[in-house]
Amino acid sequence: MSFRKYLLVLATSVSTVLAQGQTWCGKNYMANQTVVPPGGQFVLPPQSNDSLLAFRCAPGFRPYLEEDAKTAVFVVDTRIVYDWIDGASPISLPSNSTNSTSQSPSNAGNVTVTIKVGDVHTTQSVPLGATGIQVPLDISKLIAQKTPYHVDCTASYRTPSSNTQKYFANASLLYLPDNNSSSITKTDLRTGSLWVRPVNNPGSGFRPFIPQGFYVSFDQYLAKNLSLIDQLKADGFNTIHPIPPYDNATIFEQVLNRTIELGLYIIFDMRSNYQNLTATADLVNTYKSLPNLLTWETAHEPDGNSDPLTAAKQAYDLIYQMDGYHPVSIVLNCEDYNFSPYVEGADIVLEDAYPIGINATYSPVWNTPCTPDFGHCGCDNCQGGLIDIKARVQTYKNRLDILGYGRTKTVWTTPQAFGSGAYWNTTPTGQQWAAIDLISFNHGAMGSMSYQYPTTTGNVTTIEGTATNLTAIVTQNIQPFLVDPRATFSVYNYQGVDAGLWNNGTTYLLLVANTLNDEVIVPWSAVGLGQITNATAQVQRIFSVAQNFNVSSLNFRPGGIGIYTATL
């Protein structure tokens, strides 16, 4: 049994013995309830003293279209790991190669990789310990169809004793007919980014895309004020997520038409219907041809609500049978409750930790304590600060990799844009809101959908003013690095300062955020830029708040953030 299947069996077994009642993340939280451990925790893989090869392969894009057939690629990873993650197998490395926790051993040689789809196949030599190696495969001899093709990948490695070890991986190739009558959203499995055609100019071809947008209540706001859509566009956002129910069909049609006119992409939310497969099918048939449909979203916080573990996967499978041209997302709220079975039903996993303004240890709503086994404080198992965003995004990213989904599923973030009520005693400032975005990008998020719009009274100008600046910067300055499969990336932490550093071969991009309420001086060397000798000439400030730099360091005030490019 694979590690992934083991986790699914364990989660299902635990869920069937939990008492049915009013819980959140599997926990009791009311004063009259007893403490019952929720179960459903993610099990980390055991460690290995010896080297393991995590051999994985996946198509470069999902889906490929007929127009892509002759230029299709598969992306291959041959990482050396020391945890029994899904698909990892022992490998005997030369004695003179790096034999530690390094995933890029030196002097270890190559593996011979064969990729086979039906009668179509190719073989290529790939370095051992590499990630993101692209292997071309002309798939034009295959028939474009709704049913995915099974892909067999094999890696052969000659050991120091001249024995040949073989490693196997499976993949799924979605190869669909060209479709010029409606929208298509591709997922770039090399980077995790989306590729779309412009809403009002589909003939210009596909381009990489990082979603930036807001959840907006349909009945509370959109049904009463269509100008909110215009304001979102004016603020620089490219995506809108109407929150159901969409009870007034006439006004909902007006909402859709206005988003199309403005060139905004839309996320269609099925949270009210996804457990009813008949209703799900009706929605897919009705809306799959929208020219601006970006993704489907099915389960919204199923882990918090303890939805059936298989419901999201059943809806996911049905949507792909009927559509296949748009990915499927879910939103998870809990820090650690039945992660594995729920993500089976998604291509995109959104985290929606809302830590700003909470009391992490005592609930003002229920007047009860919050612990790992009890309570509801508005942010599950959080500390109450930006550090929670870093932990949540990175943890979800790590778990997907452990389960073997590092290429095929990705993480988005849901920045908090509300507060001053219920569990939250304050609303995030524009600076905090922007920091959530930067920290999320540093830890692998490939989309950002804030909750919710319009932002809470008292900080409207602050958040939206920051947004007007940040949305353009994300598109113009950050996105080119996130979507570049050739770009290298490293993440750093220095005294609470979170930093992500990308290098596209000519230029560095640096995103930094101080997660603590302390002043911090960060040497350039602590964020991977020790080569800087003349900051005035080598570093360009793109955006910063409560943060500046000099020839030797970055200087942060509490909560300071910054975006820089550097040429060394």
| Residue pLDDT, tens place only, 545-558 | 999 999 999 999 99
The pLDDT of residue 319:
98
What pLDDT does 175 receive? 98
Walk along the chain (568 residues) and give the pLDDT tens digit of each residue.
454 543 443 333 333 333 345 899 999 999 999 999 999 999 999 999 999 999 999 999 999 999 999 999 999 999 999 999 999 999 999 876 654 445 556 667 899 999 999 999 999 999 999 999 999 999 999 999 999 999 999 999 987 677 899 999 999 999 999 988 789 999 999 999 999 999 988 788 999 999 999 999 999 999 999 999 999 999 999 999 999 999 999 999 999 999 999 999 999 999 999 999 999 999 999 999 999 999 999 999 999 999 999 999 999 999 999 999 999 999 999 999 999 999 999 999 999 999 999 999 999 999 999 999 999 999 999 999 999 999 999 999 999 999 999 999 999 999 999 998 999 999 999 999 999 999 999 999 999 999 999 986 554 447 877 888 899 999 999 999 999 999 999 999 999 999 999 999 999 999 999 999 999 999 999 999 999 999 999 999 999 999 999 999 999 999 999 999 999 9
Per-position DSSP letters for 175-210, written without gaps between them: EE----SS---EEETTTS-EEE--TT-GGG--EEE-
Helix (H) or strand (E) holding 431: helix 430-442
CB 460 within 8 A of CB 534: no
279's tokens:
């209703």
Q: How far, CA to CA in Å, does 494 sit from each of 137, 521, 523?
A: 43, 9, 9
- Which CATH homologous superfamily contains domain 488-566? Golgi alpha-mannosidase II (2.60.40.1180)
> 433, 417, 422: which is closest to 376 by C-alpha?
422
Please give the CATH number for the structural domain made up of 185-478.
3.20.20.80
Token pair 């990482």 is at which residue? 79
Of residues 158, 19, 18, the one with CA closest to residue 91? 158
Q: What are the tokens at 321?
A: 């049978």
> Where along the chain do its domains lie?
47-95+104-176, 185-478, 488-566
- Neighbouring CB atoms inside 10 A of 47's CB total 11
So what's the pLDDT on residue 468? Answer: 82
DSSP type of residue 416: B
How many other CB atoms are found less than 10 A from the CB of residue 476? 10
Question: Under a CB-based contact definition with an 8 Å cutoff, are residues 218 and 241 in contact?
Answer: no
Torsion, CA 272, CA 274, CA 276, CA 279, rounded to 10: 80
Distance between CA atoms of residues 144 and 397, nearest Å: 32
pLDDT at 146: 95
Q: ∠ at Cα 200 (196, 203), nearest 5°?
A: 65
| CA distances (Å), origin 527, targets 33, 321, 442, 509, 556 | 47, 46, 12, 11, 13
Helix 460-473 to helix 430-442 angle (10° resolution) is 30
> CB of 199 within 8 A of CB of 292?
yes
Burial-class residue 130 by CB neighbours within 10 Å (0-12, 13-18, 19+): middle
Tokens of 195: 């590729």
Within 189-338, residue ranges assigned H as helices are 227-234, 249-262, 277-287, 302-305, 311-322
- Indicate the DSSP class of residue 421: B
Cβ(34)–Cβ(28) below 8 Å: yes
Torsion sign across C-alpha atoms 288, 313, 334, 308 = positive
DSSP 463: H
If one counts every other C-beta atom within 10 angstroms of the C-beta of residue 161, the result is 6
Residues near 307 by Cβ (< 8 Å), separated by ≥ 6?
Answer: 275, 299
C-alpha 96, offset from chain centre: 37
Model pTM score: 0.94
Query: CATH class for domain 47-95+104-176?
Result: mainly beta
* Token pair in block for residue 93: 């490395």
Which helix H or strand E contains 481, and what residues bound it? helix 479-482
Residues 75, 78, 83, 86, CA torsion sign: positive
3-state secondary structure of 93: coil
Cβ–Cβ contacts within 10 Å for residue 109, how many?
16
Closest CA to 189 of 349, 347, 321: 347
What 3-state class would DSSP assign to 282?
A: helix
Residue 434 · residue 468 · CB < 8 Å = no
Among candidate residues 484, 490, 449, 476, the one with its CA nearest the CA of residue 543: 476
Q: Do residues 426 and 420 lie in contact, with contact meaning Cβ atoms separated by under 8 Å? A: yes
How far apart are alpha carbons 501 and 542 in whole angstroms? 14
Q: Using CA atoms, how far apart are residues 452 and 432, in angstroms rounded to an integer?
A: 15
Candidates 350, 328, 458; CA nearest to 396 is 350
- 138 three-class SS: coil
Say which DSSP state 374 is in. B
> Roughly how many angstroms between the first and final C-alpha of the chain, as a whole number?
49
Domains 47-95+104-176 and 185-478 agree in fold: no
